[in-house]
Chain A
Amino acid sequence: VLTDEQVELIRASATAVAGANIKATDVFYTNLFKAAPGVRPLFPESMFEQSEKLWQTIAKVVASADDLSAIQNELREMGARHVTYGAEPAHYAVVSEVLIQTLAILTPEDWTDDTQAAWQAALDAICSTMLEGKAQRVG
Chain B
Amino acid sequence: VSADLRPLWQADPFAQHSATQLVQDACNLKVLSYKFALLGVSSEVLGRDKLACRIEAQTALDAFVASFANLRAPWHQCDMGEGHVAPQAQICPPETEAILTEFERMARHICAAFEQGDPPDPAELSDLVRFVAGPLCDANTAILEAANCIALATRTDTEKIALTDLRTGLPNSHALKNELARKDSKGGCDAAVARIHIDMTAFRDAHRGADMTAKDAALKHAATAITSVMTEDDFLARVDRDLFALVLYGAQSEDALERRADVIIEALSAPFVFEGKMHQLRPSIGLSLKDKTDDVDLSRCMTNADLALYHAKTAGRAAFRFFTPFLQTQREQKEKLHAQIRIGMDTQQFEPFFQPQVEGRTGKIVGFESLARWHHPTRGLLAPINFLDAAQDAGLLKELDEYLMARTLASMRRWLDDGLAIPQVSLNLTGSRLLETNLVETMLFAADKSNLASSMIGIEILESAMIDNDSKQMMDNITGLAQAGFKLELDDFGTGHASISNLKNFKVDRIKIDRSFVKDIHLYPELSKITGAMIGLAHALRVDALAEGVETPEERLVLNALGCDHFQGYGISRPMPGSEIPRWFKRTQSKTMLIAARA
Contact call A48/B560, Cβ cutoff below 8 A: no
Contact call A45/B571, Cβ cutoff below 8 A: yes
Distance (Å) between the CB of A138 and the closest chain B CB?
Answer: 28
CB nearest neighbor in A for B361: A23
Q: Which of A13-21, A74-82, A84-92, A114-122 contacts B (4 or more CB under 8 A)?
A: A13-21
Contact call A11/B560, Cβ cutoff below 8 A: no
| Per-residue A-contact encoding for B536-555, CB less than 8 Å = 1, 0 else | 00000000000000011110
Instruction: State the total of A-B contacts with C-beta under 8 angstroms.
Output: 80
CB nearest neighbor in B for A15: B594
Contact call B571/A47, Cβ cutoff below 8 A: yes
B574 lies within 8 A of chain A by Cβ: yes
A42 lies within 8 A of chain B by Cβ: no
A72 lies within 8 A of chain B by Cβ: no
Contact call A60/B573, Cβ cutoff below 8 A: no
A5 lies within 8 A of chain B by Cβ: no
Contact call A56/B592, Cβ cutoff below 8 A: yes
| Per-residue B-contact encoding for A14-40, CB less than 8 Å = 1, 0 else | 110010011101111110010000000
CB nearest neighbor in B for A8: B598
| Per-residue A-contact encoding for B560-599, CB less than 8 Å = 1, 0 else | 1100000100111110000000001001100011110110
B93 lies within 8 A of chain A by Cβ: no
B98 lies within 8 A of chain A by Cβ: no
Contact call A46/B573, Cβ cutoff below 8 A: yes
B515 lies within 8 A of chain A by Cβ: no
Distance (Å) between the CB of B561 and the closest chain A CB?
Answer: 7
Q: Given that A30-B557, A62-B594 are contacting pairs, would A47 and B552 also be in contact in the complex, using a CB cutoff of 8 Å?
A: yes
Contact of A30 among B360, B361, B554 (CB under 8 A): B554
A94 lies within 8 A of chain B by Cβ: no
Contact call A23/B573, Cβ cutoff below 8 A: no
Q: Given that A22-B561, A52-B588 are contacting pairs, would A59 and B597 also be in contact in the complex, using a CB cutoff of 8 Å?
A: yes
- Cβ of A70: which chain B residues have Cβ within 8 Å of it? none
CB nearest neighbor in A for B595: A15
- Cβ of B587: which chain A residues have Cβ within 8 Å of it? 49, 52-53
- Cβ of B551: which chain A residues have Cβ within 8 Å of it? 45
Distance (Å) between the CB of A27 and the closest chain B CB?
Answer: 6
CB nearest neighbor in B for A50: B553
Contact call A48/B573, Cβ cutoff below 8 A: yes
Contact call A49/B361, Cβ cutoff below 8 A: no
Contact call B573/A22, Cβ cutoff below 8 A: no
Contact call A22/B594, Cβ cutoff below 8 A: no
Q: Given that A21-B361, A46-B570 are contacting pairs, would A30 and B594 also be in contact in the complex, using a CB cutoff of 8 Å?
A: no
Q: How far is the CA of A56 from the CA of B596 in the complex (A)?
A: 13
Q: How far is the CA of A22 from the CA of B559 in the complex (A)?
A: 10
Q: How far is the CA of A47 from the CA of B550 in the complex (A)?
A: 10
Contact of B574 among A15, A45, A62 (CB under 8 A): A45
- Cβ of B552: which chain A residues have Cβ within 8 Å of it? 47
Contact of B594 among A14, A28, A52 (CB under 8 A): A14
B76 lies within 8 A of chain A by Cβ: no
A51 lies within 8 A of chain B by Cβ: yes
Contact of B363 among A29, A52, A63 (CB under 8 A): A52
Q: How far is the CA of A23 from the CA of B573 in the complex (A)?
A: 18
| Per-residue A-contact encoding for B440-483, CB less than 8 Å = 1, 0 else | 00000000000000000000000000000000000000000000
- Cβ of A23: which chain B residues have Cβ within 8 Å of it? 360-361, 363, 556-557, 560
B358 lies within 8 A of chain A by Cβ: yes
Distance (Å) between the CB of B240 and the closest chain A CB?
Answer: 50
Q: How far is the CA of A22 from the CA of B571 in the complex (A)?
A: 17
Distance (Å) between the CB of B245 and the closest chain A CB?
Answer: 53
CB nearest neighbor in B for A17: B594
- Cβ of A11: which chain B residues have Cβ within 8 Å of it? 594, 598
Using a CB-CB cutoff of 8 Å, which residues 357-376 of chain B contact chain A? 358, 360-361, 363
- Cβ of B567: which chain A residues have Cβ within 8 Å of it? 48
| Per-residue B-contact encoding for A51-68, CB less than 8 Å = 1, 0 else | 111011001101100000
A sample of 29 cross-chain residue pairs with beta-carbon separation below 8 angstroms, ordered by A number, consists of A11-B594, A15-B594, A22-B557, A23-B363, A23-B556, A26-B553, A26-B554, A26-B556, A29-B553, A30-B554, A30-B557, A46-B571, A46-B572, A46-B573, A46-B574, A47-B552, A47-B571, A48-B358, A48-B567, A48-B571, A49-B584, A49-B587, A51-B363, A53-B587, A59-B593, A59-B597, A62-B597, A63-B594, A63-B597
Using a CB–CB cutoff of 8 Å, the interface residues on chain B facing chain A are: 358, 360-361, 363, 522, 551-554, 556-557, 560-561, 567, 570-574, 584, 587-588, 592-595, 597-598
Q: A14-B594, A62-B594 are in contact. List 14 more A-B contacts (CB 8 A).
A: A15-B595, A21-B361, A21-B560, A22-B361, A22-B557, A28-B553, A30-B554, A46-B570, A47-B571, A52-B588, A59-B594, A60-B592, A63-B592, A63-B594
